[in-house]
Copies of this chain bind each other. A is one copy, B any other.
Amino acid sequence: MSSLKNDRYLRALMRQPVDVTPVWMMRQAGRYLPEYKATRAQAGDFMALCTNPELACEVTLQPLRRFDLDAAILFSDILTIPDAMGLGLYFETGEGPKFERPITCHADVEKLPVSDPEQSLRYVMDAVRTIRKALAGSVPLIGFSGSPWTLATYMVEGGSSKAFTKIKKMAFSAPETLHLLLDKLADAVILYLNAQIAAGAQSVMIFDTWGGVLSPRDYQLFSLQYMEKIVAGLTREYDGQKIPVTLFTKNGGQWLEAIAATGCDAIGLDWTINIADAKARVGDKVALQGNMDPSVLYAPKERIEQEVSDILAGFGTGEGHVFNLGHGIHLDVPPENAGHFVEAVHKFSKQYHK
């Protein structure tokens, strides 16, 4: 890590001492920034932006020019893997992502290719290389993927869902089909994240956006089991540097002990759990990332500062906290409020570090 000017983020994930608590924001490169909207308009549409390494690099760096963030995160979409598998990702205005050819049966799953991401997802690896070079050692670069369960929900439902009817029908009436799909996706995610690491990602995060719609048993069976397989298959050290892995299951606060037992380095927390309780449950095993309700960024500066102070006090002294929002920043947050948030984390966290 000696080559990084600011390595707080990586140190905190490894529960090593830092001067102030590091902070970044999920979806920090995004629509709340006017410069993002301009670059996206230049690209044409969302996928054109994702597949253009120069423009993906540009939007990745934009929030770092405004705010004193301790990490950059690759700008990409979580559905690149199923798109590369041939499902035909597209976006309909106001409706979120959709697939032209969703998974409907066992034969569909058997046909899915698991290919070399340097071939099938070359644009992602090119973006990682471009961003890493542009960062020039200022802060670390985070790579990421969706979890197998979360990817599978979109692949089987054909897009976003509220009740997850189709994939749950599959889970309860054709579990062998779903397990085959999840296992293939776990293999694909391992290849994908290891390729990102080889291309320059200094830490990786797995987003399990929809694991929280499962029962405890089904979460273990259909989501966590496959994230554990991924953690075991990842390159954990590259070029002499440890590569920390963070798992984030939205609405997964009830299952922190099980998540900590996967061998990951850190757990991402949403805002439905008190971070003091989370630390008491797993703090000696893993670092914690989180966990301010992103909606607090609608509030006046004083209220944002109060919330940041409360969460810092909740975690208290000791290492292993990466400050973040509990989910992605909302698209209509005033950018200056994000600035107040980042400043407050650094300002109020000094007292908790020696």
Contact = CB atoms under 8 A, between A and B. Distances in A.
Interface of A: 163-165, 168-169, 171-173, 212-219, 251, 253-254, 271-274, 277, 293, 295-296, 298-300, 303, 310, 326, 330, 332
Given A253-B254, A273-B254, A303-B173, A295 B165 contact: yes
B173 A216 contact: no
Contacts of A272: 212-216, 219, 251, 254
Given A215-B293, A295-B172, A165 B332 contact: yes
Nearest to A300: B173
Contacts of A214: 272, 293
Contacts of A296: 172
5 contacts: A165-B332, A171-B295, A173-B298, A215-B326, A216-B273
A310 B172 CA distance: 15
Contact of A163 (B172, B213, B251, B330): B330
Contacts of A163: 295, 330
Contact of A169 (B251, B274, B295): B295
Contacts of A274: 215-217
A254 B256 CA distance: 12
Nearest to A170: B298
A330 B165 CA distance: 8
A164 B271 CA distance: 14
A91 to B, nearest CB: 16
Contacts of A216: 272-274, 277
A169 to B, nearest CB: 4
Nearest to A163: B330
Nearest to A274: B216
